[in-house]
Chains A and B, each alone.
Chain A
Amino acid sequence: DVKVTQSSRYLVKRTGEKVFLECVQDMDHENMFWYRQDPGLGLRLIYFSYDVKMKEKGDIPEGYSVSREKKERFSLILESASTNQTSMYLCASSLRGISAGNTIYFGEGSWLTVV
């Protein structure tokens, strides 16, 4: 059974703080993703990575960076948190070959509140 684990489920941070959201998957998946989920806006792609040390911008990368030093771990970094980054963040992973039908598996989500 695929497991995508997000280390922090609920965080409260202050404006200007640096925030790290960690994600680990245990199925040797090449692809990893960070999405942001907001009501009425669905799942918006922030960044994805298709290999170690590789990253690609999604639709809303501004204010975020990512790190993939090991295949199983993909970190989302908010360099200077702002209130408009209050949201639910979903990590996901998949085998390479999404268009061939390889499923994306999601973590449980991290609820971030920036005050």
Chain B
Amino acid sequence: GENVEQHPSTLSVQEGDSAVIKCTYSDSASNYFPWYKQELGKRPQLIIDIRSNVGEKKDQRIAVTLNKTAKHFSLHITETQPEDSAVYFCAASINNNDMRFGAGTRLTVKP
């Protein structure tokens, strides 16, 4: 089955700096890669996603890149703000009914 690995497990940055979180996946059939943000005590919520026919996608301060050959994808957050502090999960889907998640990255943005 699909195996998703996520790094780093914790990340601390100064406000205004950039943050990068990386994920790798094992199944070359995976074709959809969402990222979820989970604030403390709240449910995970989708923040951005990318499909396998696209190499990069951007939405304001967040962007996701995908390298299908290397089977890895990354989340980039620029100009970080304290409200970006949360746990971020990457995920990979290989079919219409299944989604597997990484272990999560706890991002702390220090003011």
The chain A residues found within 8 Å of chain B, CB to CB, are 4, 31, 33, 35, 40-45, 48, 50, 56, 59, 90, 94, 96-101, 103-104, 106-109
Contacts and interface: CB of A to CB of B under 8 A. Distances in A.
A109 B99 contact: no
Contact of A98 (B36, B93, B102): B93
Contacts, number: 72
A107 B96 contact: no
A42 B102 contact: yes
A96 B1 contact: no
Given A98-B93, A101-B49, A106-B44, A42 B98 contact: no
B96 A42 contact: no
In this complex, the member of B32, B96, B100 whose beta carbon has the largest number of chain A beta carbons within 10 angstroms is B96
A104 B46 contact: yes
B14 interface: no
Interface of B: 1, 6, 9, 31-32, 34, 36, 42-46, 49, 51, 89, 91, 93-104
A90 B100 contact: no
Given A42-B6, A90-B44, A98-B96, A59 B102 contact: no
Given A31-B97, A42-B89, A103 B46 contact: yes
A99 B96 contact: yes
The secondary-structure label for the interface of chain B is strand
Given A98-B32, A98-B93, A107 B100 contact: no
A56 B96 CA distance: 13
Given A43-B44, A100-B96, A101-B51, 8 more contacts: A40-B103, A42-B6, A42-B103, A45-B99, A97-B96, A99-B31, A99-B96, A101-B49
Nearest to A41: B103
13 contacts: A40-B104, A42-B101, A42-B104, A45-B100, A45-B101, A59-B1, A94-B99, A98-B96, A99-B94, A103-B34, A104-B34, A107-B43, A108-B42
